[in-house]
Amino acid sequence: MIQRGQLVRHDFAIRDLTVSAVRELSPGFRRVTLTGADLAGFTSLGAGDHSKVFFPDPANGDYAVPALTEDGLRMPDAGTVIMRDYTPRAFRELSAELDIDFYLHGDDGPASAWAARASEGDRLVLAGPRGSHLPPTGAARVVLLGDETALPAIARWIEILPEPIEVFVFVELGNQSDAAYLDPDHVHRARVVWLGKGDGGLERAIRSLDTAVIGDDTYFWGAGDSESLLPVRHYLRRELGLPVTQVKLTGYWKPGVEALDHHAPIDPTDPD
Ligand SMILES: Cc1cc2nc3c(=O)[nH]c(=O)nc-3n(C[C@H](O)[C@H](O)[C@H](O)COP(=O)(O)OP(=O)(O)OC[C@H]3O[C@@H](n4cnc5c(N)ncnc54)[C@H](O)[C@@H]3O)c2cc1C
């Protein structure tokens, strides 16, 4: 029987950081490494963790960041706060370095546009994670699915899950060259299937999973374009009737929507 992983809460802080390195991981991915004294106390224990990242206004370069008060984040009186969610890909406490892996989807979003141009010395402010969900207990196998935006978390999942747990990965890519994002070690540890985009491939792949793979000890975690996840969720939760403790799918973005709220249900007519 699968049970939700424990939630570990962390002190919430605003961290004012500096880009110390930028690395191209694949045609569509840039790893931005951040450093600074504000990283003291940074903690991220869960593969699906996220930080709120604040970006400068691409129109004028102005940087509006909130302040931390006892009641939470207080938005500044002036300026527009541009805030997006990103996965802390890796944190090295000894060298005070935090990696964030940005998928570059184009210049129509301030986060992607910033990441495409980021260079050493640039400033980036972030807050959180507020807490981390540890992996669920009782899973014999874990199926990870989504698109490029899920890959930093999927890489973390592969690293966190202990060896006896079987790991399956299904990821839709706009450009198959971005398969290079995953290290050979990740690909060796998991059964990874790369899919094309926009033709329902993710749903088909999950529907084609053998019933031996989908048991009451199988956990599904997925993230990415909420429109692609919708039919997958319907299949797993409604057609197969898997309980919410076995399926965690989160919309990380939605076509045509700026700064999608990932707490919004993938299917508003059928929230978890
Ligand atoms: C919890 C969480 C963790 C995340 N972790 C990561 C991560 O580690 N790395 C990462 O790259 N992304 C990650 N994302 C996704 C990222 O936050 C969104 O893609 C975000 O919308 C990007 O902001 P933007 O300013 O570039 O675009 P926005 O201003 O939000 O959107 C502008 C336009 O771009 C479109 N758009 C947004 N994202 C994409 C995309 N991926 N592909 C195509 N079009 C898109 C929107 O639909 C909209 O039309 C995460 C999201 C969540 C909720």
Local confidence pLDDT in tens for the 272 residues of the chain: 899 999 999 999 999 999 999 999 999 999 999 999 999 999 999 999 999 999 999 888 899 999 988 888 898 988 889 999 999 999 999 999 999 999 999 999 999 999 999 999 999 999 999 999 999 999 999 999 999 999 999 999 999 999 999 999 999 999 999 999 999 999 999 999 999 998 899 999 999 998 888 999 999 999 999 999 999 999 999 999 999 999 999 999 999 999 999 999 999 999 98
Judge if the beta carbon of residue 257 lies within 6 A of ligand 1: yes
Q: How far is the CA of 164 from the centre of ligand 1 (A)?
A: 33
Question: Does the fold of domain 135-253 match that of domain 8-131?
Answer: no
Domain range summary for the chain, segments of one domain joined by +: 8-131, 135-253
Q: What single-letter DSSP state applies at residue 231?
A: H
Partnered with residue 222 across adjacent β-strands are 145, 249
| Nearest atom within ligand 1 for CA of residue 100 | 8
Residue to mutate (ligand 1; options 54, 80, 105, 225; most atoms within 8 A of CB) = 105
Six-digit token string for 232: 């997958």
CATH topology of domain 8-131: Elongation Factor Tu (Ef-tu); domain 3 (2.40.30)
Ligand 1 atom at shortest distance from the alpha carbon of 87: 8
Of 208, 141, 199, 209, give the one whose Cα is nearest residue 173: 199
Q: Is 140:69 a contact under the CB 8 Å cutoff?
A: no
Q: Is the CB of 225 under 6 A from ligand 1?
A: no
Strand partners, 221: 144, 248
The pLDDT value given to residue 194: 98
Is residue 128 within 8 Å of 80, Cβ to Cβ?
no
Find the farthest-apart pair of alpha carbons in the chain and give their distance in angstroms, rounded.
Answer: 57
What integer pLDDT is reported at residue 77 of this predicted model? 85
The listed CATH number (3.30.2350.10, 1.20.58.220, 1.10.1660.10, 3.40.50.80) that belongs to domain 135-253: 3.40.50.80
29 lines ligand 1 (CB under 6 A): no
HSE at residue 267, side-chain half, CA atoms within 13 A, is 16
